[in-house]
Amino acid sequence: MPENFPAYLISKTDNGQITELKDITLDELMDGDVTVKVEYSTLNYKDGLALTGRAPVVRRFPLVPGIDFAGSVVSSEHPGFKQGDKVVLNGFGVGEVHSGGYAGMARVKGDWLVALPNGFTPRQAMAVGTAGYTAMLCVLALEQHGLTPDSGDILVTGAAGGVGSVAVSLLSRLGYQVTGSSGRASQREYLIGLGAQEVIDRSEFNGKVKPLAKERWAAAIDVAGGNTLANVLSQINYGGAVAACGLAESMDLPTSVAPFILRGVTLYGIDSVMASIEKRQLAWNRLARDLDLAQLEAMTVELPFSDLPAAAEEILAGNVRGRTLVKIPS
């Protein structure tokens, strides 16, 4: 194992948060029973908030950000993993209260790790990343609700983002009719290429929320929250469902009970951070089976490690499309 390795380190001062790229040692990592050589990480919306300090994502200092990573086990005291195993990690407070993936090495609890499924390389796993894993959790929730391709059209909000891009690709490959909602008209051809049958402007969901609007969608995957989610709920078909996994617009939900008690609509909250290992393994196995890897590559941009702070500003501004992959230097 290297004596030192590059890492982003977030510290707190009297003047606020400071993010530095520097070399650190293994002794500066937090406690855990598995040490992993990190090969790839990603840039997620939450990472953007952490790197910039725009929201109190980081709650322990100093800390290495990065809510997910994939790599190889270099040492393990956990019975489930041995040296050389390929693993992936998403959530469990990593990058928030426990040092995460933006470093050459990571030390974590083995109970947080998932064995990398056959068919995925660490690079592909982080092209999927937390965003793609969350999209799969949404699809699983809708399937468990009873949704099938014959149920009707499926709406995906924030469709050009990380979660949305993978959701559109997955749903289309599984045979669903998908409508993508985006605030960027320039992304229409991109979304059609991922399998969306229709692309609509997100402004359709900006208006005043009606208790019930015209039924349009059998189900939806929503990353926005706020007025968008409230309007989407009012347009879900009788007995339909929404899987909500984000708050890019707002944490508020200005709706009424009408969709739930008059149309039997179900709202599923999708938590990717503390989901059980069993649910995680199922999601990753389904991704390995159902995700078009050529489409995954097409929606992925690889970012130099040194460009992370600038890219964090871009993802918060809504200027990032698809998936952003980060190669971690040794």
- In CATH terms, the fold of domain 129-269 is Rossmann fold (3.40.50)
Of 244, 197, 246, 251, nearest to 227 by C-alpha is: 251
- Residue spans per domain, the chain: 4-116+299-327, 129-269
Task: Give the pLDDT of residue 27.
Answer: 93
Cβ atoms 92, 117 nearer than 8 A: no
CB contact set of 300 (below 8 Å; sequence gap of 6+): 127, 322, 323, 324, 325
Task: Give the pLDDT of residue 330.
Answer: 78
Assigned CATH for 4-116+299-327:
3.90.180.10
Burial 168-182 (b: 16+ CB within 10 A, else e): bbbbbebebbbbbbb
Tell me the per-residue pLDDT of 55-69, one tens digit each, with 9 for 90 and over.
899 999 999 999 999
Task: Give the pLDDT of residue 328.
Answer: 96
Per-residue pLDDT of the chain (330 residues; tens, 9 = 90+): 678 999 999 999 888 899 999 999 999 999 999 999 999 999 999 999 999 999 899 999 999 999 999 999 999 999 999 999 999 999 999 999 999 999 999 999 999 999 999 889 999 999 999 999 999 999 999 999 999 999 999 999 999 999 999 999 999 999 999 999 999 889 999 999 999 999 999 999 999 999 999 999 999 999 999 999 999 999 999 999 999 999 989 999 999 999 999 999 999 999 999 999 999 999 999 999 999 999 999 999 999 999 999 999 999 998 999 999 999 997
pTM, to two decimals: 0.93
- Largest alpha-carbon pair distance within the chain? 63
Q: How far apart are the first and last CA of the chain?
A: 10
- What the block records as the tokens of 325 is 């992959």
Whole-number Å distance between alpha carbons of 235 and 212: 7
* Residue 285: Cβ-neighbour burial (10 angstroms; 0-12, 13-18, 19+): middle
Q: 29 φ, ψ to 5°?
A: -80, 160
Question: Which residues on adjacent β-strands are paired with residue 73?
Answer: 36
Whole-number Å distance between alpha carbons of 207 and 162: 25
Whether residue 65 has a cis bond before it, omega within 30° of 0: no
Cβ atoms 162, 313 nearer than 8 A: no
Cβ atoms 242, 268 nearer than 8 A: yes
Task: Give the pLDDT of residue 150.
Answer: 97
Task: Give the pLDDT of residue 131.
Answer: 93
Tell me the per-residue pLDDT of 151-205, one tens digit each, with 9 for 90 and over.
999 999 999 999 999 999 999 999 999 999 999 889 999 999 999 999 999 999 9
